[in-house]
């Protein structure tokens, strides 16, 4: 058997283990009873560790090294990409023992279970010990690598967004921060008043569920290859080639929260459902970086979902389902209500403009934590101080503060991806508009044209290219915040009339 075929045979078995793990992960984060979480977490850890043993066996390591040495003899570019990715993974994990892998998995499960309880009680001190254990275990794992980047946070950034380091992101976020604060000040000085009294009206969850399914179907999500359920913190997960699942969280008194969670998570799933069959055949599926993925989810959520044209499109269905709750809300009021700019506590509920500052705060916090420049005890106070400095708001409790996100129960380096994604999509939307009238397509519900363009330009080569190559191939440019800032200024100048 050719070595590349032997690699694929072994990866097929490993994939079955991870398929099992993904189903258990989905269950743990959605419907698993509270008292069963620890046992289910232990079972998940076991199967993850078994998969890890297969991935890091001596035979597997030697096979990957041999193929990497012979990579120029492979004719299929997808085979070469598979070997490159496999070798990168080998380099990062070759010195990690199964015992250490199990230790990390256990630390993550413990952190998640503890975080749930700490968040419920709004008490960071309940999470601190497990968080500290996880940080130490993650650092131990990173230190096993032959090549450890001197700025420790760069190791996490590079894992999430290939070839993206603090030297790239520090000036990127600084330019973004200056632009966002300037725009927020203009909006603060606007005399235009947006109606908001209806935003906190109670909306029955069963009606929100009906509207959620309508939105997913409208945008092009295929329910024959997916499912929708609820969780504490919404996420989307690729279970298998024909199984991309979406979750949301319903609040009776915040109906917009679910609407934009659904559009956002549905965007992730549409990306997953449009990966090429060839990518699965070469075990390249879901090789998309977080920034690339977030560019798509936030394209659907914000560029489309919060647009005047999309609100016009969904308004009749909105009135049909929520007529009793919103008999007095006009289409323009719904559009403006969906686009209120106001500093807030929760990242997931933040508007397009202030959202970037939530991400910048987390980026700065993660640098401090990973580089050992802040103690565990100092984290909540520093978090609160940054919210006061950048957003001008006081944090009333740990629940709305440092405990609001689930991400730190698993890893670091993800948060920058959200804002990188915003800037990626602002860049490629300019190319999209050169080829067809995007606003007209949205207003008429022509998602076939939109999704076909995304499939051809954004999805098609996403598993094959590093992010810097990918965005350059689509737009001819390197990552920049300028198109995003221009998009925001144009849109919100019209809304707030400044």
pLDDT-derived band at 120, boundaries 50, 70, 90 = very high
Angle value at C-alpha 252, between 337 and 262, nearest 5 degrees: 65
> Predicted confidence band at 429 (pLDDT cuts at 50, 70, 90)?
very high
- The listed CATH number (1.10.1060.10, 1.10.1370.30, 3.10.180.10, 1.25.40.80) that belongs to domain 166-496: 1.10.1370.30
Residues in the chain: 498
User: 175-189: per-residue pLDDT in tens?
Assistant: 999 999 999 999 999
Q: How confident is the model at residue 163 (pLDDT cuts 50, 70, 90)?
A: confident
Beta bridge partners of 237: 245
Q: Is 154 left (phi over 0), alpha (psi -120 to 50) or beta?
A: alpha
Among 473, 413, 465, 481, which Cα is nearest to 156's? 413
* Choice among 96-100, 246-250, 313-317, 363-367 with the minimum mean pLDDT: 96-100
As a whole number, mean pLDDT of residues 316-330 equals: 98
* Residue 457, CB-side half-sphere exposure with 13 Å CA sphere: 23
Q: What is residue 498's three-state secondary structure?
A: coil
Residue 234 pLDDT greater than 90, yes or no: yes
Predicted local confidence at residue 16, as pLDDT: 97
92-96, 176-180, 300-304: which has the minimum mean pLDDT?
92-96
Residue 226: strand pairing partners: 244
25, 9, 14: which is closest to 243 by C-alpha? 25
* CA–CA distances in Å: residue 59 to residues 11, 65, 331: 13, 10, 62
Q: What per-residue confidence (pLDDT) applies to 349?
A: 83
How large a percentage of the chain has pLDDT more than 90? Answer: 97
What is the SS3 string spanning 432-471?
A: HHHHCCHHHHHHCCCHHHHHHHHHHHHHCCCCCCCHHHHH
3-state secondary structure of 176: helix
In whole angstroms, give the CA distance from residue 280 to residue 293.
17
Q: What percent of the chain has pLDDT over 70?
A: 100
The pTM score is: 0.91
pLDDT band at 363 (very low <50, low <70, confident <90, very high): very high
Q: What is the mean pLDDT of the chain?
A: 96
Average pLDDT in the 172-176 region? 97
* CA 460 centroid distance within chain: 19
Give residue-wise pLDDT tens across range 132-142: 999 999 999 99
Q: What is the pLDDT of residue 397?
A: 97
| Catalytic site residue from 55, 161, 162, 265 | 265
For 230, list phi and psi in degrees, rounded to 5: -115, 160
CB atoms within 10 A of CB 394: 10
pLDDT, one tens digit per residue, over 107-117 is 999 999 999 99
Instruction: Kindly state the DSSP code that residue 95 receives in the 8-state scheme.
Output: T
Where are the chain's structural domains?
Answer: 3-148, 166-496
Closest alpha carbon to 288 in 152, 71, 18, 469: 469
284 close to 464: Cβ distance less than 8 angstroms: yes
d(CA 253, CA 93): 46
456 annotated active-site: no
pLDDT band at 170 (very low <50, low <70, confident <90, very high): very high
Q: In this model, does residue 47 exceed pLDDT 80?
A: yes
Assess whether pLDDT exceeds 80 at residue 248: yes
Q: Which two tokens stand for residue 134?
A: 């996880």
What mean pLDDT comes out for the span 36-45? 94
- Mean pLDDT (whole number) for 214-243: 96
Span 477-489, mean pLDDT?
97
- Tokens standing for residue 155: 């190791």
With both helix axes pointing from N to C terminus, report the angle between 98-120 and 37-55 in degrees, rounded to the nearest 10.
150
Q: Which of 47, 5, 81 has the alpha carbon at shortest distance from 288?
A: 81
Q: What is the pLDDT of residue 274?
A: 96
- 228 has which bridge partners? 246
Instruction: Please give the pLDDT value at position 348.
Output: 84
Q: What is the pLDDT of residue 162?
A: 85
């Amino acid at each position: 058997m050719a070595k590349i075929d032997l690699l694929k045979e072994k990866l097929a078995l490993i994939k079955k283990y991870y398929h099992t793990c993904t189903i258990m992960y989905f269950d743990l984060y959605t419907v698993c009873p509270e008292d069963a979480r620890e046992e289910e977490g232990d079972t998940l850890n076991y199967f993850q560790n078994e998969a890890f043993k297969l991935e890091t066996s001596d035979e597997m390591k030697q096979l990957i090294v041999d193929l990497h040495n012979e990579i120029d003899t492979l004719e299929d570019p997808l085979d070469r990409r598979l070997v490159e990715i496999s070798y990168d993974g080998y380099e990062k994990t070759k010195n990690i023992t199964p015992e250490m892998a199990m230790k990390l998995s256990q630390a993550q499960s413990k952190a998640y279970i503890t975080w749930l309880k700490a968040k419920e009680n709004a008490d960071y001190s309940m999470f601190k010990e497990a968080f500290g254990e996880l940080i130490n275990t993650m650092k131990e794992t990173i230190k096993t690598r032959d090549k450890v980047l001197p700025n420790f946070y760069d190791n996490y950034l590079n894992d999430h967004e290939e070839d993206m380091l603090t030297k790239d992101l520090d000036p990127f976020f600084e330019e973004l921060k200056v632009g966002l604060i300037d725009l927020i000040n203009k909006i603060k000085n606007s005399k235009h008043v947006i109606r908001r009294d209806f935003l906190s009206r109670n909306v029955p969850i069963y009606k929100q569920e009906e509207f959620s399914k309508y939105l997913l179907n409208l945008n092009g999500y295929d329910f024959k290859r997916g499912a929708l359920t609820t969780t504490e913190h919404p996420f989307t997960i690729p279970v298998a080639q024909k199984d991309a699942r979406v979750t949301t969280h319903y609040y009776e008194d915040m109906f917009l929260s679910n609407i934009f969670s659904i559009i956002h998570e549905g965007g992730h799933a549409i990306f997953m459902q449009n990966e090429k069959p060839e990518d699965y055949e070469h075990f390249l599926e879901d090789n998309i970086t977080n920034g690339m993925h977030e560019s798509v989810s936030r394209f659907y959520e914000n560029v489309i979902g919060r647009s005047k044209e999309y609100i016009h499109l969904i308004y009749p269905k909105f009135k049909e389902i929520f007529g009793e709750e919103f008999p007095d809300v006009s289409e323009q009021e719904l559009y403006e209500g969906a686009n209120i700019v106001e500093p807030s506590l929760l990242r997931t509920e933040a508007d397009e403009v202030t959202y970037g500052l939530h991400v910048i705060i987390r980026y700065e916090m993660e640098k401090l934590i990973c580089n050992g420049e802040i103690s565990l005890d100092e984290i909540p106070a520093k978090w609160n101080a940054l919210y006061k400095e950048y957003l001008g708001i006081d944090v009333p409790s740990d629940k709305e503060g440092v405990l609001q996100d689930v991400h730190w129960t698993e890893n670091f380096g993800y948060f920058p991806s959200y804002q990188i994604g915003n800037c990626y999509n602002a860049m490629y939307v300019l190319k999209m508009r050169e080829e067809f009238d995007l606003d007209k397509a949205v207003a008429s519900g022509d998602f076939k044209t939109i999704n076909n363009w995304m499939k051809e330009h954004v999805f098609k080569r996403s598993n094959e290219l590093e992010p810097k190559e990918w965005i350059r191939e689509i737009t001819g440019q390197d990552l920049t915040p300028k198109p995003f800032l221009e998009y925001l200024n144009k849109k919100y100048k019209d809304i707030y009339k400044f």
